[in-house]
Amino acid sequence: MGGNGFVHHQSRRHMEQLIRRAQAAGSLLCVGLDPVGTSETEVAARLHGVVQQTAEFAAAFKPNLAFFLCRPDGVALLQRLREWIPAEVPMILDGKFGDIANTADRYAAFAYDLIGADGVTVNPYMGDDAIVPFARPNKAVFVLAKTSNQPAHSWQDEELVRGGTVSDFSADVVQTLSHDYPGLGLVVGATHAEALAHLRRRCPELWFLVPGVGAQGGDLAATVHAGCRPSDGLGLLINTSRSIWQAADPGAAARDLTQQINALRTKRVSDAV
């Protein structure tokens, strides 16, 4: 048992840093960092403050690359952010990278070697060689499967002649690759609880990074019930950005959300026994 009462299976140590942190913090909360504002000084101060106030409750931090690259000092700010985040807390760089192998190698070098990220998000549209360059040892790679947006035309929902949808196919590819590259997981939006439950049945062991709770309308209880592994209360990293960034007290917002998640996942595990 971990300190919070949830089982830690040795067979699932393929995301060892994330599992270790989730157990130590008693949390599945991923704090999204999408900095807005025109003053570089104020944005940096807000980032530093949010990290300091929420680090106690964070299983991970997820800076969105676009919100940094649009700033003149964006890369330097990302590097400073990595220094502010405690070393034991994973930083997942949300870049949704998705290019062919030699370019993907360069993106991986940027994310891991220049910025110091512990994981990334990847768009699998161009196939295995858009994913594998990021699958370094001890790095977490979350591959897009069923995202939280709801477009008028969604490739992810298109049905295949072979059966299933494009998002199912993405999940199946990641499931297969995970045997050789065990740091792989999926991005699955909280705005589609049925799809989340479907992909959990399809990929019972993989970790899911789940955006969409809060401002995008995802239901927290439905998300935990659909996506949390009932065997150990893990496997789910619930991201929230605006509800913490915009809070008057980010630390209190992170604490309250963590407590809600833990109550729900305790129920999920007990219901499965």
**Does any domain span residue 5?**
no
**Does any domain span residue 206?**
yes
Edge-to-edge strand list for the sheet holding 92-97:
60-63, 29-33, 236-240, 208-210, 184-188, 140-146, 119-122, 92-97
DSSP 53-81: HHTTT-SEEEEBTHHHHTSTTHHHHHHHH
Strand partners of residue 93: 120
**Does any domain span residue 1?**
no
Buried b (16+ CB within 10 A) or exposed e, 58-69: bbbbbbbbebbe
Give 54-81 pLDDT, tens digit per residue: 999 999 999 999 999 999 999 999 999 9
* pLDDT in the model for residue 214: 67
**Does any domain span residue 202?**
yes
**Does any domain span residue 249?**
yes
Residue 258 has pLDDT above 60, yes or no: yes
Question: Is the CB of residue 107 less than 8 Å from the CB of residue 79?
Answer: no
By CB atoms closer than 10 A (0-12, 13-18, 19+), residue 36 is exposed
**Does any domain span residue 2?**
no
Specify the number of domains making up the chain.
1
**Does any domain span residue 38?**
yes
**Does any domain span residue 49?**
yes
Active site residues: 96
Domain hosting 195: range is 10-272
Give 134-159 pLDDT, tens digit per residue: 999 999 999 999 988 877 778 888 88
Q: How far is CA 47 from the centre of its chain?
A: 19
Residue 270 has pLDDT above 70, yes or no: no
* pLDDT in the model for residue 206: 96
Q: CATH code at 93?
A: 3.20.20.70
For the segment 7-19, the average pLDDT, to the nearest whole number, is: 61
